[in-house]
Amino acid sequence: MIPTVDYIQSCFDEYNVLFFNGTLPPIPIKLSNARTFLGKVTFVKRRKWLFGEWVYSNFKLRINTRFDLPEELIQDTILHEMIHYYIAVNHLRDTSTHGQLFRREMKRINEQGNRHITISYRLTALSQLMESSQNPALPKAGVE
């Protein structure tokens, strides 16, 4: 399926209650035609003062609509991005982009919700799913 903003929004609202106790603030949802990622949370990070604490703003949840993907993969991608959002919005520190904290949350949601969130999707699997596009070059698709 190719998700719509309404679909992504309803997933976000449902998972927010199920896995984050409804604590995630609303986030604008944007559809993306990018070749390089399935989902991404973007935000602006700046310091209030020269040596002040970091302030995050302008969060956006971007979900890819270039690829026709199985519904479960889209849902897991939304969940993956929600973990990034949870970590960023709460100013939690992780050891790396998909560090110990990310993996702990991923494991918790996978077990609790019988989900299959991962930190990377294989290009070979995606190449079979992607549009039979004009461009024969395989996209480097993954999650960020």
21: left (phi over 0), alpha (psi -120 to 50) or beta: left
Closer by beta carbon to Zn ion, 39 or else 53: 39
Q: Decide if 67 contacts 7 (C-beta within 8 A).
A: no
Position closest to Zn ion via CB? 143
| Closest to 143 measured CA to CA, from 3, 36, 16 | 36
Closest contact distance (angstroms) between CB of 53 and Zn ion is: 24
Closer by beta carbon to Zn ion, 89 or else 143: 143
Q: How does DSSP assign 60-113, residue by residue? A: EEEEE-SS---HHHHHHHHHHHHHHHHHHHTT---SSTT-HHHHHHHHHHHHHH
Q: Residue 43 in 3-state DSSP?
A: strand
Closest contact distance (angstroms) between CB of 142 and Zn ion is: 9
Closer by beta carbon to Zn ion, 49 or else 106: 106
56 sits in which H/E element: strand 54-64
Residue ranges binding Zn ion (CB under 5 A): 143
Closest contact distance (angstroms) between CB of 21 and Zn ion is: 21
Closer by beta carbon to Zn ion, 100 or else 133: 100
Closer by beta carbon to Zn ion, 141 or else 143: 143
Closest contact distance (angstroms) between CB of 138 and Zn ion is: 20
Closest contact distance (angstroms) between CB of 81 and Zn ion is: 7
Between CA 129 and CA 67 the distance in angstroms is 7
